[in-house]
Amino acid sequence: MIAETVPQKLHWYDYLTININWFAITLRTSVLGGLIVPLLVQTYVGESQKGTYFGTIRLWALMVALLTQALIGMFSDRSHSRMGRRRPFILAGTLLEVVVIACLIWIAGLRGMTGYAVLFAAYLLSMVLSNFSQAATQGFIPDLVPPERRGFASGVKTLLEVPLPLVIVGLVVSPMISHGNLGAAIAVTCVTMLACMGLAMLVKEEPLATKPEPLDWKPFFSLVLMTAVFTVIILGLGEIVKRLIPVLGQASHLVYGAIGVGAMLLAVVGGVFAALEVHFDKSIRRNRPFVWLVISRLAALVAINNLATFLLYFFQEKFSMPTDKAVSLAGLLPMVLGVFILLFGLVAGWLCDRFSRKLMSVLAGCIGAAGVGIMVLGNSITLMYVAAGVIGLAYALFSVATWALGTDIIPQSRAAEFLGLQNLAGAGAGAIGAYIGGTIADHSGYLLLVTMFGVMFLLSAVATLFIQVPRK
């Protein structure tokens, strides 16, 4: 059994140093995944294929990140470093990733498929190194914060992880990129990462005092198999979509939308059932409420994770915007969404403690679909901000309701294991929406793609109805 190292007393600043690296992780993800990488992909491959090629990068980056995070988490749990279990991985991951991110200044000067290939390799390496840092950062609260203070610590984490970095991206970084100053944006990102890493090094972490149990590789190998199955299903469905497009030719948007939603739905339901089928513990897939919970979360996350990813392309098409203005708006809208998540988070918790969590999960899916409807049908920038606020409300309610619902239906003795499996939903969601959706968008446009994400919100609500919650 690995012993926790919980200090007798934490000062106010300890809650900042324990959580400060989440600020860097979110800022780095928003800048690279939401702005720089989409822009470079568009430059390398052109307008007609940017969705397909960006979706390919997203697929492999997320699958690599999932496995890296699990592996480094295992190694971090058993580290005997004098610096402690977590800080060495944060230090190494951040320093190495900053070097990779700095290379994007040179990579941006490349052209054509050579540039795309180098960007692909650099972004995958960046994701690996980022998850060195993230896997270790996740251990600080359970390691160092007494149980009675973990709620407060998690609140500080939420503040640093969601609204604050998105404000910096929207007000500082995206204007730099929109004015063509990519080097300055990368410099701000790297300096922020190094500053947060430096503060994280101030965490009072003691070396592991007891010898850990022998490393059990079965959970990791099980995750590898599940990830491989999931990836094969996504690749297969994406290939089917690519082959259907030339056959259907000038079919209506309704047809292509149905194909895209159908492929995503098959990837969600088939991917979850197939992935759990190869899990070494067969009792997990026999827990049908949990399986439908994962399906519900995955369907909603297909929408949530990919809306921000494709905002740049969406605004370029919807408002015929030049790239600089689209970049600026794509940076500001996630900021609005993050603020609404923060403001509504406590209200969502109150609602989920007083009303049916299943009902709240269904309601979250419906509100999310309404927000997407405003995005698609709205004809002004103001309505885009309204849509971001509505989707922020949906995301806050969804996050709290589905997580609380999960605690109601999983075996309490294996809570961490079951909830940890939901990471597959997060990574799979980004891969499904980007890889399958990007191909559809290249042919039929990003208005259709965003509409498909609205349908995925509704399908999440439908899947929630199949969850049988045990009576208390």
- pLDDT score of 418: 61
Apex CA 464: angle with CA 305 and CA 62, to 5°? 25
Separation between Cα atoms, residue 469 and residue 292, nearest integer Å: 11
Q: Which two tokens stand for residue 291?
A: 């399986």
- What's the pLDDT band for 274 if we cut at 50, 70, 90? confident
In this predicted structure, the answer to whether residue 78 has a pLDDT above a threshold of 60 is yes
- What's the pLDDT band for 1 if we cut at 50, 70, 90? very low
In this predicted structure, the answer to whether residue 414 has a pLDDT above a threshold of 60 is no
Residues 39 and 115 in one domain: yes
- pLDDT score of 472: 55
Residues 98 and 225 in one domain: no
Mutual angle of helices 182-200 and 87-102, in 10-degree steps = 170
- Phi and psi at residue 9, to the nearest 5°: -145, 135
Determine the structural domain holding residue 184 and report its residue range: 1-207
Mean pLDDT across 102-115: 95
In this predicted structure, the answer to whether residue 416 has a pLDDT above a threshold of 80 is no
For residue 256, the 8-state DSSP code is: H
- pLDDT score of 412: 54
Q: What is the mean pLDDT of the chain?
A: 86
DSSP secondary structure, 314-372, as one string: HHHHHS---HHHHHHHHHHHHHHHHHHHHHHHHHHHHHHHHS-HHHHHHHHHHHHHHHH
Per cent of the chain over pLDDT 70 is 92
Q: Where a domain ends, among 172, 207, 242? A: 207
Q: Is residue 212 in a domain?
A: no
Domains in the chain, number = 2
Q: Where a domain ends, among 189, 207, 225? A: 207
- What's the pLDDT band for 118 if we cut at 50, 70, 90? very high
Residues 441 and 372 in one domain: yes
Residues 197 and 313 in one domain: no
CATH code, 417: 1.20.1250.20
pTM of the model: 0.85
Residues 10 and 98 in one domain: yes
Residues 167 and 238 in one domain: no
- Are 430 and 306 in contact by the 8 Å Cβ rule? The answer is yes
Separation between Cα atoms, residue 155 and residue 158, nearest integer Å: 5
Q: Which of 293, 214, 256 is nearest to 1 (CA)?
A: 214
Q: Which two tokens stand for residue 368?
A: 């999310």
- pLDDT score of 411: 62
- pLDDT score of 45: 94
Q: Which two tokens stand for residue 256?
A: 């292509």
- pLDDT score of 67: 87
Q: Is residue 371 in a domain?
A: yes
Mutual angle of helices 87-102 and 50-77, in 10-degree steps = 160
- Are 346 and 42 in contact by the 8 Å Cβ rule? The answer is no
